[in-house]
Amino acid sequence: MSDDTIKKNISKNIAKYREAANISQKELAKRLGVVPSRISNWETGANCPTIDILFEVCEILNVSINDIYGVYPDSKFVLKYGEQDLLKKYRGLDDHGKEMVDFTLEKEYERSIAEKKKSDNIVPMAVKESSDYELNAAHADDYMGAPDELKTAEEKMLDEDF
């Protein structure tokens, strides 16, 4: 992960978690002992707080340093912002709520896998057909303009028993 990506994550996440905690920039600045414009500068990415201040920010906002950095080294994958929010909401549910989410997630996962298998089994086929005849349906406006031999062939087909 590049330095620019980390800086962007820090600036976005300070704003995100500050807002989630219902703390104003002014209030956060007061609690950190800095001027409010510094908070604004951090959140816009103009500059970044020192590591010491960043740990204080984490403590005030009740998040981990990994949350602020947007990286999770113990994990094999990184959660996207929306996924982090969903996980926090899930953790806030009571047992019944978690059971309902688990049930729905399992059923949707099964449905999704089944749909994928169906679409994986569809093999596109290119069919080249050529004909000297122009096909016209019996109810088409230009049926009367169709060649006589085509009309005769279609009538014969309609009369055949299958």
Quote the pTM value. Answer: 0.46
Return mean pLDDT, the chain. Answer: 81
Give the C-alpha separation, 65 to 67, whole Å. 5
Single-letter code of the amino acid located at 100: M
Give the C-alpha separation, 154 to 158, whole Å. 6
The answer to whether 25 touches 36, Cβ cutoff 8 Å, is: yes
pLDDT exceeds 90 at position 30: yes
**What local confidence, expressed as pLDDT, does residue 116 receive?**
83
Rg of the chain over all Cα atoms, to the nearest angstrom:
32
pLDDT bucket at 139, cuts 50 / 70 / 90 = very low
pLDDT bucket at 161, cuts 50 / 70 / 90 = low
